Chains A and B, each alone.
Chain A
Amino acid sequence: MSQKLMLDARSIRKSFGSNEVLKGITLSIKKGQVLCLLGPSGSGKSTFLRCINHLETINGGRLYVDGELMGFEERGDAIYELKPKEVALQRSEIGMVFQRFNLFPHLTALQNVIEAPIGVLKISKDEATKTARELLAQVGLSDKADHYPSQLSGGQQQRVAIARALAMKPKLMLFDEPTSALDPELVGDVLDVMRKLADSGMTMIVVTHEIGFAREVADRVVFMDAGVVVEEGTPSQVIDNPQHERTKAFITSVL
């Protein structure tokens, strides 16, 4: 059972100075599932996402991705920090999409997508380019391959960013409020790409305020507030029939 879990987070704690942002988060998802994290800003959902690929180092708990402890190694009773090289290898298997896209502005869309496969996975340039063109077609941007990010709209940039993450053939995709920085009319294209990705069987964890997307695509929805998981379950349970007052208040406010 446990090896079928893609993410297995056990009582994760994270503090910034004296401010405890995550107060023991326990969450797991199976391969192929889509999990949506909902919650008011400051609830710790983005921080939790960043802990999964070790962009933030956790202060307590254990976090396993595909059965592998992230950022650390267990030997006997003690745990040891991994070397940067080993952490980089773990990260290369987890894709991440950022709120502010974070495309490399000095590279074209195509170059953005092939950079890591060539530099990290050591794939030949021809092969990487071929895959990249397929991925750009998949996100509907075949004709923008030679454009720089500054020449693309926000929605187009975010779709290039998704293609860039997919080019590493990740086993898990993390989305950190992927549509929050977009003009309303551009949100749909990005959500369409994510929906298709979910249908193709990709395991995804999505921090979002798009309730409609969560209801339609998520297998499970988790509502977080003030560093704890308040409620979790299927979309119909959490979104349409919330049990906790805080969940009810939040759902009402964003709908």
Chain B
Amino acid sequence: MTTQNPDDVVAVPLKHPWRWVSAVILLLLGGGFVWSLYASPNIVHATVIKYLFDPQVLGAAWLTVVLTIVSMTVGAILAIILAIMKLSHNPILKFIATLYIGFFRGTPLLLQVVFWGYLGLIYPKIILGIPFTDIIFHQWKTADLLPSVIAGILALSLNEAAYAAEIVRAGILSVDTGQGEAAKSLGMNSGYTLRRIVLPQAMRVIIPPMGNEFISMLKNTALLQVIAVMELYARTNQISAQNLAQVELLIVAGFWYLVMTTILSVPQNYLEKRYGKGFSANSTKFRLIRVRARGNV
């Protein structure tokens, strides 16, 4: 393998001086920024450290994780339903899905959060009955039914569903039509085909952008501050309103957001591997065999 051939190319590698220059500039800038944080008289390090593991802050960070996971799960389930509706041949289902996606993508998330948070002001009571008649099965006070955490989850998941529906639809469309035909020819019905044949293959395309959505969702939970959900941003804000250490608590919140987004990126790698099975680019088994095959030649 390492035997020298007389016609081997032995050349002096090309020099890349600009890589070195840019690396030095980057190092200076980055180092300067870190130093400024460390040396600034306006940042009290003791305060940062004190609140980093404060039980109130940790509790709020935990709530942020729960809000993210619940909203994302509900959003993803709704997204699959919406995507199927939009791809269906039923014109009414298609219309409803298009309208839904248009509405929830077309208005700011902040506006939607406030809407669900203050729903009680618009509709003090929620009534289950038949419209335009006196028939009422049951009624609730909106405030009882929708505490701010639930309103927040509703806002985030309904909004997420609209975005994720398009991701799921793209995933389903990416699967070769021959797959559906093969499934049909084997007597599989459309529901079974979707569940067992199309969606598992669509997942390859769906997962990477859904990872993005997951991280966006985690950060968007900060919007729930406006309806008084005590998640991480709201809690650190509340603490700094009392002790006036705004910058320190922003650093604390930023630190935990970074930790959480980093940890939540781990399952993505796992899922990508799992659903990449059988597709050559991701199949390690296949790679080994190819290497072996080459070795034999």
Contact = CB atoms under 8 A, between A and B. Distances in A.
B is a partner of A: yes
Interface string A37-58: 0000000000000000101000
Interface in A148-194: 148-151, 161, 164-165, 168
A161 B178 CA distance: 13
Nearest to A119: B192
Interface in A98-126: 98, 100, 102-108, 115-116, 119-120
Contacts, number: 83
A95 B185 contact: yes
A33 interface: no
Given A84-B190, A98-B178, A150-B283, A106 B275 contact: yes
A23 interface: no
B36 interface: no
Interface stretch (A86-94, A131-139, A241-249): A86-94
B216 to A, nearest CB: 28
B278 interface: yes
A106 B189 contact: no
B189 A165 contact: no
Interface string B179-216: 10110111111101000110011000000000000000
B15 interface: no
Contacts of A95: 185
B178 A102 contact: yes
Contact of B181 (A102, A115, A164, A165): A102
A98 B180 CA distance: 12
B187 A107 contact: no
Contacts of A103: 182
Contacts of A106: 200-201, 275, 277-279
Main secondary structure on chain B at its contact with chain A? helix
Nearest to B195: A119
B187 to A, nearest CB: 3
Given A55-B184, A150-B286, A84 B178 contact: no
B277 A104 contact: no
A: contact size bracket:
20 to 34
Given A91-B185, A92-B187, A168-B186, A104 B179 contact: yes
A96 interface: yes
A96 B283 contact: no
Nearest to B176: A102
Interface string B120-138: 0000000000000000000
B285 interface: yes
Contact of B196 (A53, A98, A115): A115
Contacts of A168: 186-187
Contacts of B201: 104-106
Given A102-B178, A148-B286, A150-B286, A107 B188 contact: no
Interface of B: 176, 178-179, 181-182, 184-190, 192, 196-197, 200-201, 275, 277-280, 283, 285-286, 289
24 contacts: A55-B181, A55-B184, A85-B189, A91-B186, A92-B186, A94-B185, A98-B182, A100-B178, A102-B181, A102-B182, A104-B179, A104-B197, A106-B275, A115-B197, A119-B188, A119-B192, A119-B196, A148-B278, A148-B283, A148-B285, A148-B286, A151-B283, A151-B289, A161-B182
